[in-house]
Amino acid sequence: MQIIDRTKPVIITGGTGYVGSQVVARFLEEGLTVHAAVRHPENRNSVRHLDELAKRSPGKIRFFKADLLAPGTYDEAMAGCELVIHSASPFLLHVKDPQKELVEPALKGTKNVLGSVNRTSSVKRVVLTSSVAAIIGDAKDCLAFPNGSATEENWNTSSSLMHQPYSYSKTVAEQMAWEICRAQSRWDLVTINPSFVMGPAIVLSSASESLATVRQFGNGRMKQGAPDFAIGVVDVRDVAEAHFRAAFTPEASGRYIVSAENTDFITLAGYLRQAFGNTYPFPSRVLPKWLVWLAAPAAGFSRKMARLNLGYPWKADNSKSIRELGMTYRSADESVTALFRQLAESKSI
């Protein structure tokens, strides 16, 4: 059990990203001093939104230069911190080199951040942004879980470098984090495992699959129909809240599935049609599995991925986060509608 001193700074990695920006905002609004470790602090355009957040908040922000792939670069930003929030990790589903673009940043980044943690005697707790992808690889995996629903006890054993490499990268990075944690006794580790994150972005230039997926509901990519994909959805603001509660709840421990509800693509499209009518070509029917399987390579994903996910229910149990962190969740309807409205108003559908 760790009690964190709120007068001490907190280091947050990945603060310019879709999730990380909201995490920074949550800590700033509580009056904390945030040490934002970013790749290019000298590029004022890339951190302007964080500066603006700080101006509107009682908290303060300081920027430090750090590189996920460079050992030791987090030492300066971490000095004097009792709390480390590590959220920097790419969320990309379509990559040419999964080892270089996904696995290396996730693994080396986590190793480098935790290396700095081991060298920084003030650190008491690390909150790591993992993913439900480290628990569920494919929707079909849920069939083997008790009651067909994943819990924090489960691990993704079906992903690999060649199949679902993003999920694989999150799995091996979190497993390594637990190994590093178990090798010492000074600091503890809490992981936040969100499902598919939606909800309003602080900056729309973020390279996140969340934004890309929601765009596809209205840009014509799915006008013929939606694939029968079941997913979990959680609002990005709730993900930030989960990080905050995991940081300052002394009894918090282990992994936390952070997910509002189990849903699917066609249900999300229905929420958007209800909110926006026929202004956009939202899908109104589910595409046959055989057709999606046939077209999968042209759409940028494998037929194996289609075979193991299409038509299977995806279920994850969020009760631990509700019970131990006191989480309440926004609906998937609110989250997808808020993000789509933001994209539409910025003319970036």
Q: Encode 304-320 in three state secondary structure.
A: HHHHHHCCCCCCECCHH
Residue 141 backbone phi and psi in degrees, to 5: -60, -30
- 3-class SS at 77? helix
Q: Is the separation of the CB atoms in 123 and 82 below 8 Å?
A: yes
Q: Which amino acid is at 99?
A: Q
The C-alpha atoms of residue 31 and residue 83 are separated, in whole angstroms, by 15
Q: Is the separation of the CB atoms in 202 and 49 below 8 Å?
A: yes
Give the dihedral sign, CA 202/88/138/322.
negative
The C-alpha atoms of residue 3 and residue 19 are separated, in whole angstroms, by 25
The C-alpha atoms of residue 95 and residue 74 are separated, in whole angstroms, by 27
Q: Is the separation of the CB atoms in 86 and 18 below 8 Å?
A: no
Q: Which residues are catalytic?
A: 170
The C-alpha atoms of residue 30 and residue 183 are separated, in whole angstroms, by 33
Q: Is the separation of the CB atoms in 239 and 19 below 8 Å?
A: yes
